Amino acid sequence: MLDKNQIAKRIAKELKDGYYVNLGIGIPTLVANYIPEGVDVVLQSENGLLGMGPFPFEGEEDADLINAGKQTITTLPGSAFFDSCTSFAMIRGEHVDLTVLGAMEVSDKGDISNWKIPGKMVKGMGGAMDLVASAKNIIVAMQHVNREGQSKLLSECTLPITGLNCVKKVVTELGFFEITEEGFLLIERAPGVTVEEIRSKTEGRLVASDDAPEMVL
Amino acid sequence: MNKVVENAEIAIQDITSGSVLMLGGFGLCGIPENCINAIVKKGINNLVCISNNAGVDDFGIGLMLQKNQVKKMISSYVGENSIFEQQMLSGELEVELIPQGTLATRCWMGGAGIPAFYTPAGVGTEVAINKEHRDFHNKKYIMEEWLKSDFSIIKAWKGDTHGNLIFKDTARNFNPMMAMAGKTTIVEVEILLPAGELDPNHIHTPGIFVNRIFQGTNYEKRIEQRTTKKR
């Protein structure tokens, strides 16, 4: 089974040299810690920054310099600031190469729900609907099952939809999946996880061969 | 062409109850602190506030919510505010949530004289209910209309007496588009300079969009998530 950092580490292996990448809040943010050596990517923060750097040293925080999660950050050589309209032109105009975001549910058709739990949590969609509607390549980082042990990889999302038919890949604590016409295609098992366990915890259509390889981190 | 007014109280003096306001900022970054304090002090209510977020309980738009001054919020994300949540769940506060890029573009369109655009954001979701759908190049889009305000309330870093503005870092965010979309646009700045002191090459918002500008004071610039690394 993968922990949050290992999920981030696996996703980081999907980054390619020259990519502009938007990382969502939560596990996706951790991907920045595992960018492979020799791979040069630029992180886009949708509140108006290309070239997001690490957290500042204590005492050097600047209230004017935050990321989309409202955390204090820094710039890097080559960074650029811009307004929100320009930021979403980058996103909607498909200039961003890869989007990594969290999800509450994903369907075997690539639908995603991540913005609202009716009656419980209504925080808003922020930039998520714009991102999923236009991104060329979306990887979702999520937990495979909820606290009650129920699958979050479903045949149909039960929560309000953020976007339809948009997720390309999913990484959970149990494995790495691609969304195909036939549903969730198991590409790699997490270390120590059996195909049987993945089958039992996936409600949506799953294509998993018994000799699916184990993930190498 | 001198647009300078003395302070926040004078800048906002003709905002009345029931006005539609746009307030710049992302989270607590780049919010018009002085004007918000003046609006709270003035005590007007039934306001419609268009702003990406709704502040936190005791800062930013949260201060206006505390005083029940807001009738309706139009935002993309309102997650950090428990007073907001209470008022929304009790039905006291009307809330319209819209995708962030759609919000930004609708403000820009209001200022640019473009009544509507088509976006893929929200297709297949509750955002698309009752909106015109149209296919372009085999992809579905929904139509979204412009947004305009009675008063746009903007925070910039530097400004001059003509109302030309320069923003700092990610405090720019929604401020430039909202500055364009106001019938009256009010700007507070950290540094107010005579015309000619700002390099015209560096202006983010040209003064034509600005009606009033004043030198702000006592900026708290609160940080929502203070994240650091050890030396």
Is B183 within the bounds of a domain? Answer: yes
Question: B228: closest CA among A36, A12, A65, A35?
Answer: A65
As a whole number of angstroms, the distance between CA B224 and CA B60 comes to 11
Please report residues of A whose CB lies closer than 8 A to that of B101.
46, 84, 87-88, 91-92, 127, 130
Share of chain A above pLDDT 70, in %: 100
Decide: B175 and B166 in contact? Cβ < 8 Å: no
- Threshold 0.80, pTM exceeds: yes
Q: Is A96 on the interface with B (CB under 8 A)?
A: no
Q: Is A49 on the interface with B (CB under 8 A)?
A: yes
Is B79 within the bounds of a domain? Answer: yes
A137-188: per-residue pLDDT in tens? 999 999 999 999 999 999 999 999 999 999 999 999 999 999 999 999 999 9
The packing angle between helices A84-92 and B100-112, to 10°, is 120
Are the beta carbons of B76 and A126 separated by less than 8 Å?
A: yes
Domain range annotation of chain A = 4-28+86-207
Domain span at B24? 8-115+147-215
Are the beta carbons of A64 and B221 separated by less than 8 Å?
A: yes
> In the prediction, which pLDDT does B86 show?
86
CATH architecture for segment(s) A4-28+86-207: 3-Layer(aba) Sandwich (3.40)
Number of domains in chain B: 1
Please report residues of A whose CB lies closer than 8 A to that of B167.
81, 83
Quick one: closest CA in A to B205, which residue? Answer: A83
Decide: A56 and A72 in contact? Cβ < 8 Å: yes
The CATH number covering residue B106 comes to 3.40.1080.10
A49-78: per-residue pLDDT in tens? 999 999 999 999 999 999 999 999 999 999
Q: Catalytic residue, from A14, A46, A105, A203: name it.
A: A46
Is B135 within the bounds of a domain? Answer: no
Nearest to A83 among B77, B172, B221 (CB): B172
